[in-house]
Amino acid sequence: MSSSDPSDVNTLTFGSTLPSSSAYAIMSLSEVYLLLSSTSDSGNNSVLESCLNYSKRFNNLGNMSGISEMEKENRGRNIEDLKELLLQKTYKNKTTGEETRLHKYEASKFIDLMSLTSDPEEAVCLIPSLEGRFSNEDIGEILEFVKRCMRNFT
C-alpha cells in the first residue's frame, strides 16, 4: 500500500485495497477459523497454516473438534446473524448527536472481544474508532449483547 493510499483503523479508512463494497467481508477471527478449517488442505503454505493457528487460538465458538460439519455451518451462520444484528442497531453519536451504526470492522471486533472484556474503556482501546462516536453505556450494552448471544452459540 502506498503512502498516497493510507489505511487507518482509527478512522475506519482501509484504503483502496479493501473496497467499501458489500461483496467484501470483514471477518471475525471465528469466521476466519471456520473458513480455514473447512479447507481440506493448506498444503505447504506457511501463511495459511499460521493464519489457521492464530484464528484457532482466538476462536470464540468453543472447541470445534469432534463436531459435525453441519454444526460448524450453524455456528458460522449464528456469527453472521449476530453481525447483521449489530450492524442494524442505531445509536446516538456521542459527538454530533446524529444516529450512527457500527461499521463492519467494529462489529467483527466486538465478536472477537466477546470473551475478553466487558469494560467499555478497554473496548475503546482495542477498537479506537469507537471513541467519540459511542458512549460508554452504548459500548457496554453492545458487549453484553454479544456475550449473551455467543453463550447461546456454543
Q: What is the pLDDT of residues 90-126, one digit of tens each?
A: 998 888 889 999 999 999 999 888 755 678 988 999 8
Question: With 70 as the cut, is the pLDDT of residue 77 above it?
Answer: yes
Report the alpha-carbon angle 20-82-72, nearest 5.
105
Query: How many whole angstroms separate alpha carbon 56 and alpha carbon 148?
Result: 21
Q: Which residue has the higher pLDDT, 85 or 60?
A: 85
Provide the percentage of residues in the chain whose pLDDT is more than 90: 25
Give the gyration radius of the chain's Cα atoms.
17
Provide the percentage of residues in the chain whose pLDDT is more than 70: 83
What residues does 13 pair with on adjacent strands?
8
Cβ(114)–Cβ(146) below 8 Å = yes
Chain mean pLDDT for the chain: 81
The pLDDT score that the predictor gives to residue 1 is: 42
Structural domains of the chain in order of their starting residue, each with its CATH number: 63-153 (1.20.1250.40)
